Structure 1
Amino acid sequence: MGMSAGYELSKRGLKTLLIDAFDPPHPNGSHHGEPRLIRHVYHGGEAYVRMALRADERWLELEEATGEKLLERAGVLSIADPDVYKFDIRVDDARKHGVRLELLDAQEIGKRWKGIRTPDTFRALYEPDAGYLYSEKCIAAYRQQALNAGATLLTNCFVTEVKADQTSVTVRTKDDVFVAGQVLLSAGAWFKTLEPFVHLPIRAVRKTVGWFEPSGAAFDAGIFPGFSLITRNGGYYGFPSIDGAGVKIGRHDTGVEWTPGEPFEPFGDYPEDEGDIRAALEAYMPDAAGRLLRGAACKYEMTSDDNFIIDFHPAYPNVLLAGGFSGHGFKFASVVGEITADLIEHRKSSQDLRLFAVSRFAPTT
């Protein structure tokens, strides 16, 4: 989100300094281990649908500006046990905005994608215009475009303190002090390191993903879509095998809470790291549940309601907060960059941001 915003701001001619604790793209946030799904039929109301459609437009503009292939329209198949989740509200919101979709029963799912096995009661929603983003390429593209537009980037530069008054913001690192008229704080799972200046109800959670060797070509990119599974045993998401990397699958719910500064256990330290995601493949895509080719652990930043935080600091109108993207935010990075730049430059956005107000957490913030 910060790299996207940095590009937007510098492109508009604002003097922009980007400070990153690491060297993006990197494995210390929520963007590594590409790809990431992009869907337009979205839960949470029309605000998300409008943002998803605008995000899609902005990703295409970034592709055009860089000449990089960033978005693959592989389709996304969302499968659900109707006793756990129904698509009704999502479908109504999406159709209002002209999103193409298909509703499928279990027989049709199995007919179109031979590798999927579901109970007869399961249903699915298929979005042919959805797909996935090469997340690390996206970050690298934003970085280069921001630098080309005149932004300054400090890497491996950890922010130790933020202070503000009504006219300026001071940011301190180990070696320097910077003063600006406005600041955007987009620290992901690391927001706790900015306390007590800002205290947000964001939990940092360790999540794992794995890449499994499928048998046959049914799960190859170009044949198999991106997917999600909502079942009694949890919520999962995944991708086809891209260039032989294996079928990628992760679990959206559960996870182990993590505090910045504490050890971050690698993939495999818990039996459920592989066990949970392998069990989901064995149950619904058994031909994809082959040898584990690779595993990774990443950091989610969760709010209590899974909605984002995009709002000004309660005490300082020159400090903008963007966080709590709750494991489903990457697809929106392009439009969040635009939104935050609009808020910094014009104090308003064309998007409906009421869902993302920090005041909804009062009095805990």
Structure 2
Amino acid sequence: MIYDVIIIGAGSMGMATGYYLAKAGKNVLMIDALNPPHEEGSHHGETRIIRFAYGEGASYVPFVKRAGELWMELEALSNESLFLQTGVVNVGEPSHSFIKNVKASAELYDLALEQYSADIAMKKWPGLFVPENFVACFEPTAGILRVEACIHAYKKLAMEAGAALHTNEKVQSIQAGSIIKVQTENNIYESKQLIVTAGAWITELLQTMDIPIPVTPTRKTFAWFEADEKLYGENVFPAYCFELGDSTYYGFPSIDGVGLKLGRHDGGEAINPNDPLRPFDEQDSIDLLNFIQQFMPQHGALNYGKTCKYSMTPDEDFIIDFLPEHQNIIVAAGFSGHGFKFSSAVGEVLTELTLNGQSKQDLSLFKINRFNK
């Protein structure tokens, strides 16, 4: 049997793509080395922020706005609670590029954004400490996505639309051609088109075709802290991003009473994605404690920490493109720790590229050949 499309990697991006392609009538096979949602992918860890006034640059705004529309659509189709509108506060010095981008993108696209001085921000959120020379830019329409619920919803819809899903089946090699051959431990599958959304494993998969891709799997950590719900609960405290110049932190209010969640966005160490991640350790906790003691001083004890993987590109922008020598193979990779919120729209984009060779979204920022310059 020759499939219309094979998708390697059925995490957040792959599962959404599988649904949209199957809905469009394509005969789709999704293959994953594990059983999504799982704890080995970049989608691990219960929650992700979705924000529209985008600190990484205004060029992302139309893409993330479309993602927001599709998450609402998925929520309605699945009858599941996927989005919590807690708002998101971006905190930093007004001169920082992230804060400047937040304000510029809100102005350019007429997005709701409230700017507070340090004093007013601390009155609004008594659990927060904001240095005098910082500002707080609050986006009331932004919030939090429930990661596993999102993937489960797309998984259910994809299967109902007729997509096939093979789990716990690791792909070993890809052989390009007019008919593409995908070799796993157990089988060889054939398809007319291929989409690779394999997260941290993208580099080794493309190496089987002798194609280099500048994506570095990176170990990251995050943790939960005990919290006073009156200060830090989801009904009174927003998700947050702190730009400190030499470091960037993000986190979440206490959702369903589980405590304040905190992670560091920058830094981390390069890893082999096939090796077990070094467990969360004392050095990881020291880093997060230093931040939370300063900026959320009324937090409680550290409950527990976890590790996850980012897939980093050199410029931290995504890769979404056809492989230059293979116009029936599309790669979506290198989401660099800020991609999950886009995965609904990435699924739509990859479907458009597969069906039409082009997308309604402007993908010029995500071209693979930008690294050759």
Shorter-chain TM range is over 0.9
Provide the rounded CA distance (Å) in 1 between the counterparts of 2:104 and 2:257.
Answer: 37
**2:229–2:254 contact (8 Å) kept in structure 1:** no
Question: Deviation string for 1:320-356 (max 9, x for gaps)?
Answer: 0000000000000000000000000111101110000
Structure 1: gaps spanning 5 or more residues? none
Secondary structure of 1:266's counterpart equals: coil
Match of 2:240 among 220, 224, 227: 227
**1:2–1:337 contact (8 Å) kept in structure 2:** yes
Q: Which residue of 2 aligns with 1:251?
A: 264
Cα offset, 1:156, TM superposition:
0.4
**1:74–1:224 contact (8 Å) kept in structure 2:** yes
**2:55–2:97 contact (8 Å) kept in structure 1:** no
| TM-score normalised by L of structure 2 | 0.94
Q: Which residue of 2 aligns with 1:178?
A: 189
Q: 1:86 to 1:339 in 2, by over 3 A?
A: closer
**2:179–2:192 contact (8 Å) kept in structure 1:** yes
Cα offset, 1:84, TM superposition:
4.2
Superposition pairs of residues 1-365 of structure 1, within 5 angstroms: 1-82=13-94, 84-85=96-97, 87-165=99-177, 167-194=178-205, 195-197=207-209, 198-215=211-228, 217-268=230-281, 271-288=282-299, 290-362=300-372
Cα offset, 1:192, TM superposition:
2.5
Cα offset, 1:46, TM superposition:
3.4
**1:47–1:351 contact (8 Å) kept in structure 2:** no
Structure 2: gaps spanning 5 or more residues? 1-12
- Between the two proteins, the alignment pairs up a number of residues equal to 359
Secondary structure of 1:51's counterpart equals: helix
| TM-score normalised by L of structure 1 | 0.96
Provide the rounded CA distance (Å) in 2 between the counterparts of 1:341 and 1:180.
Answer: 15
CA RMSD of aligned residues (A): 1.3
Provide the rounded CA distance (Å) in 2 between the counterparts of 1:219 and 1:339.
Answer: 37
Q: 1:215 to 1:44 in 2, by over 3 A?
A: closer
Secondary structure of 1:204's counterpart equals: strand
Amino acid of the structure 2 residue aligned with 1:335: A
Amino acid of the structure 2 residue aligned with 1:188: G
**2:90–2:242 contact (8 Å) kept in structure 1:** yes
**2:223–2:302 contact (8 Å) kept in structure 1:** yes
Cα offset, 1:118, TM superposition:
1.6
Secondary structure of 1:307's counterpart equals: coil
Cα offset, 1:78, TM superposition:
0.5
Provide the rounded CA distance (Å) in 1 between the counterparts of 2:166 and 2:267.
Answer: 34
Amino acid of the structure 1 residue aligned with 2:325: A
Q: Which residue of 1 aligns with 2:4?
A: none
Amino acid of the structure 1 residue aligned with 2:319: I
Amino acid of the structure 1 residue aligned with 2:236: I
**1:214–1:247 contact (8 Å) kept in structure 2:** yes
Provide the rounded CA distance (Å) in 1 between the counterparts of 2:242 and 2:226.
Answer: 19
**1:193–1:260 contact (8 Å) kept in structure 2:** no
**2:94–2:100 contact (8 Å) kept in structure 1:** no
Provide the rounded CA distance (Å) in 2 between the counterparts of 1:260 and 1:323.
Answer: 14
Secondary structure of 2:230's counterpart equals: coil
Secondary structure of 1:253's counterpart equals: coil
**1:47–1:353 contact (8 Å) kept in structure 2:** no
Cα offset, 1:82, TM superposition:
3.5
Secondary structure of 1:317's counterpart equals: strand
Q: 1:86 to 1:188 in 2, by over 3 A?
A: closer
Which sits farther off after the overlay, 83-92 or 51-60?
A: 83-92
